[in-house]
Structure 1
């Protein structure tokens, strides 16, 4: 299953590769060079397909849990001052996604979207300390009765040139459901209440909609 954000790119890639196959077969006489080009094109197609994959996930719905919004590696767990929405201290958990990770963003909790804002910006590498404040990003806040307000921020990286965010203010959302997509390497920051119990460790690999990041 492939994410809808990749449908157009996948179709275009297929058309281009088929055309290049025909050109290669017609104009490249050397058999070994012909084979090399065809293998390279197939590898490129496989990379595109794996990037836009959208696997089904089994979310254990629980208002006491915050699940990871994305696949990747935990790179930050610390208490910080969140400037944009809360304007007070929160627990930050950041997950870095490499180009080979699933890049679907999912809602970490169920509830009502109370804030959703896009910010244009730079394309610093996603692990840069200033990436969360200076890079292109979107900030979404979801509220439920147990956790209160949970903020997650999609952050573009050096290769990510497009962030897709489906969250709309006032919308009721389900935990683990599709909330957006980030193309080609990036990071997502979670900002949680200070009394949250963190269930992950630094450098731990997590799965979107399944790994429990924190609980009450």
Structure 2
């Protein structure tokens, strides 16, 4: 299954590849050049299909856990001051997505969207320390039953020039459901309460709607 955000690109690329393959077949006489052009065109189509894949992941919502919103690698775990919405310290967990990762954003928890805002900005590489505050990004806040308010940010990278965000203020959302898409390499930051337990480590690979990023701290801690 492919994400709906890729439909136009997939269709356009398909017809372009067909045109290139047929043109090469009829107008390029040197066999190795013809085959090289045709194979390159087919590899481009495969790469586009791979990027826009959208695997189905069934989730049984768990109010005690925050799930990874995207596939990728954990590149930041730290306490930061969040100036836009919370205006207080939060635990930040950042996940970097390479172009080979699934780029679907999924809701990390069930709850109500209380804030959703788009910010234009720069296109620094996604692992740059200032990308969270200076790059093109969206900030989404969810009010959850067990964690209170949590946030996540979709951040554009050097290649990502289009962020798609489906979260609308006042909407009830379900953990694991499709929350948006970021095209061609990017990062997502989770902004979590200080009293939650972080269950991942730096450089750990995570899977969207599968890996538990954080959990409610037991009352006896």
RMSD over aligned Cα atoms: 0.6
Runs of at least 5 residues in structure 2 that lack an aligned partner in the other structure: 217-221
Q: Which residue of 2 aligns with 1:21?
A: 21
Q: Which residue of 2 aligns with 1:150?
A: 150
Deviation at 1:32, TM superposition (A): 1.2
Measure, in 2, the Cα distance between the counterparts of 1:56 and 1:203.
Answer: 25
Deviation at 1:57, TM superposition (A): 1.3
Measure, in 2, the Cα distance between the counterparts of 1:180 and 1:193.
Answer: 23
Q: Which residue of 2 aligns with 1:53?
A: 53
Q: Which residue of 1 aligns with 2:121?
A: 121
TM-score normalised by length of structure 1: 0.99
* 1:93-142 deviation line (CA, Å, top 9, x unaligned): 00000000000000000010000000000000000111000000000001
Deviation at 1:66, TM superposition (A): 0.2
**Which runs of 4 or more aligned residues in structure 1 lie more than 3 Å from their structure 2 counterparts after TM superposition?**
none
TM-score normalised by length of structure 2: 0.97
Measure, in 2, the Cα distance between the counterparts of 1:144 and 1:182.
Answer: 24
The answer as to whether partners of 1:58 and 1:210 remain within 8 angstroms in 2 is: no
Measure, in 1, the Cα distance between the counterparts of 2:19 and 2:35.
Answer: 15
Runs of at least 5 residues in structure 1 that lack an aligned partner in the other structure: none
Q: Which residue of 2 aligns with 1:76?
A: 76
Q: Which residue of 1 aligns with 2:98?
A: 98
Give the secondary structure class of the aligned counterpart of 2:160: coil
Give the secondary structure class of the aligned counterpart of 2:2: coil
Give the secondary structure class of the aligned counterpart of 1:11: helix
